[in-house]
Chain A
Amino acid sequence: MAVKALKAVSVGRNGLGAFILQCKRIDLHYCDWAGSSKGMNGFIKSLLPKFAAAHPQIEFTVSPRPSKHPVAIGHYINGREKAICVRNMEPYEILKKLELLRDANGEKLKKLSKNVTSINESVRGVWSPYHGNGLQV
């Protein structure tokens, strides 16, 4: 009757070992005719080639969406997506929005109250009232 084993599955920690960028695809939609797409069209012509070349790990798709406002949609590894309407924006404003999409991890925005979160055990251990010499009152 020796020791028996239980089942467990390892947990990944992105960035420890390898880092995988969480944004996997960005869809860019534009309209040839509408004025709100003016900046987007300029962005696609002038800035997108450089931005896409700098981020080979993101798949870029560009497709027309006639009679609609231009939009940039980021798709993330966790399966969620984040869409930003970029109507009437200048090309460099759109670049900022794309950087935002690139840097996001796809999760819902939430307030983090702790500076550090970790799945590791505390190095110090948890304080115990049953140990130590106690306090004389």
Chain B
Amino acid sequence: MKRLRVERWTNQLLTARSGAAGGISCSAPRIRCLAAAARKSLSTAAAESSAPVIDGLDNNPRFPPLEDIPPQAATLPSPLPERALQSAKLAALHARLSLSQKIPLQTLARTLVDASADSHPRFNNTNLAFVGQTLINYHVAEQFMIQYPRLPMEILYAAIKGIAGDTSLYHIAKSWGIESAAAPGGEVDPGFLQYSLENDGDAILFFGSVRTEAKYLDKYKFRRGVSSRVVFDNDFGDRVDEFAQNIEDDEGASGDYGSAATRKRAEKAHANHVRAVVGAIYAHCGRDAVKAFVKAHVLSRKLALDKLFYFSDPTRELATLCAREDFEKPIARLLSETGRLSRTPVFVVGIYSGKDKLGEASAPSLDHARRKAAMNALKAWYLYSPGENARVPSDMLAEDAEKWEPGYIDIGEIITRGGNFRH
């Protein structure tokens, strides 16, 4: 069996039991004392017996300690800012993201400390994340509003959430190679993301109000219409108290990969890190750098907008649209078929308004094909785009911006009446 070489262990791993210290040669007990704050709460004897770290490394030049951890580090909730300069992980992350030299490593280290790890707002990333989320959500929202001016509000919410929501930002953080510490603490490398799996932290990151009837929304299934979502809810149309409510339900049964609650907390911490990085870029480099960063990392991701639509009665909605726009009444016509008695019949149906074909689809039954064709026609209407190069309002913030030409604004989504009329 191999001999354990105690002298080569790093400092923080050498946590001696009381009484076990005599067994290890201890030349210079450098980190003998805990931080003053911790010591005050303990009796002298307890402080002596619980002195956790033994240091025998100073006199071996071949195996210097990996990192010189300040004496009080273990008692702090997050690493000291000055340790950021020694972290290779942090420097590598800075270079990997091609961040400007104006952004110091200390700020990048702060973006990695979640509010659930360190509740002090001067050391965690809450403030940076708040700035970051407003910027990300603004750029994503303006992009969708200009590029797809006819998107219904529900789809717009889903699209913004699909690009800038927690899950998407979690994937961005993962694609940056962010690793998380097993548990937060002052002694861990500042290059690790630090968050707690046990508590949520008290960071307020989203605008929004809690409804007076919030308690009854789930209990009595109160209606939460789009208009009230615009007024009360956050940028994704979600209730601001939704996370806290859901996380309570998800606690409990935890398997190898944690419970649903721990996964959500991990997702939220990673997302807040990405938001904080954007906030840090804004603080040090300004809005142009933020815009370029959001475009490169967030907006460049692919989200299939046409997969977001769920139509309950597409034919009726299309008829309403044609009535509203003074088009002729939509008529479904069979364009071709393989033969109804064939083994796998296929019908190709087009929807026409006068001589204009609005949509077309093929399906194994006539009704299915007609509904699919109506859906395609509606998607073609809703997904109208003025083109990739349409200017967004934030383009006007540039110094030499040309005169603003207003983007296309649609009169609104199609509102179908009740009743049972079919075309």
CB distance from B375 to the nearest CB of A (A): 10
Say which residue of B171, B296, B308 sits within 8 Å of A8 (CB atoms).
B308
Interface presence of B303 (CB below 8 A):
yes
Question: Count the A residues whose beta carbon is within 8 Å of the partner chain — how many?
Answer: 33
Interface presence of A45 (CB below 8 A):
no
A21 to B175 alpha-carbon distance, docked (Å): 10
Residues of A within 8 A of B415 (CB): 2
Question: Are B157 and A5 in contact, CB atoms less than 8 angstroms apart?
Answer: yes
CB distance from B150 to the nearest CB of A (A): 11
CB distance from A113 to the nearest CB of B (A): 23
Residues of B within 8 A of A1 (CB): 312-313, 416
A59 to B91 alpha-carbon distance, docked (Å): 8
Interface presence of A57 (CB below 8 A):
yes
Say which residue of B174, B299, B312 sits within 8 Å of A4 (CB atoms).
B312
Question: Are A77 and B175 in contact, CB atoms less than 8 angstroms apart?
Answer: yes
Mostly, the A contact residues are loop
Question: Count the B residues whose beta carbon is within 8 Å of the partner chain — how many?
Answer: 56
Decide yes or no: A56 and B91 within 8 Å by CB, A3-B378, A8-B158, A18-B98 being known contacts.
yes
Question: Are A130 and B304 in contact, CB atoms less than 8 angstroms apart?
Answer: no
Q: Which residue of B lies closest to A32 (CB)?
A: B62
A15 to B311 alpha-carbon distance, docked (Å): 35
Which of the segments B24-32, B162-170, B205-213 contacts the partner chain?
B162-170
Interface membership of chain A positions 5-22, coded 1 if the CB is closer than 8 angstroms to chain B and 0 otherwise: 111111111101110110
Decide yes or no: A131 and B89 within 8 Å by CB, A4-B154, A4-B312, A13-B300 being known contacts.
no
The 26 listed contacts between A and B (C-beta, < 8 Å) are A2-B414, A2-B415, A3-B310, A3-B311, A3-B378, A4-B310, A5-B155, A5-B309, A6-B158, A9-B167, A10-B168, A10-B301, A10-B303, A12-B301, A17-B297, A17-B299, A18-B98, A18-B297, A20-B96, A20-B97, A24-B96, A56-B91, A58-B92, A60-B88, A61-B88, A77-B175
Contact surface of A with B, Cβ cutoff 8 Å: 1-14, 16-18, 20-21, 24-25, 56-61, 77, 119-120, 128, 130-131
Contact surface of B with A, Cβ cutoff 8 Å: 88-89, 91-92, 94-98, 152, 154-155, 157-158, 161-163, 165, 167-168, 171-172, 174-177, 295-297, 299-304, 307-313, 317, 335-338, 346, 348, 362, 378, 382, 413-416
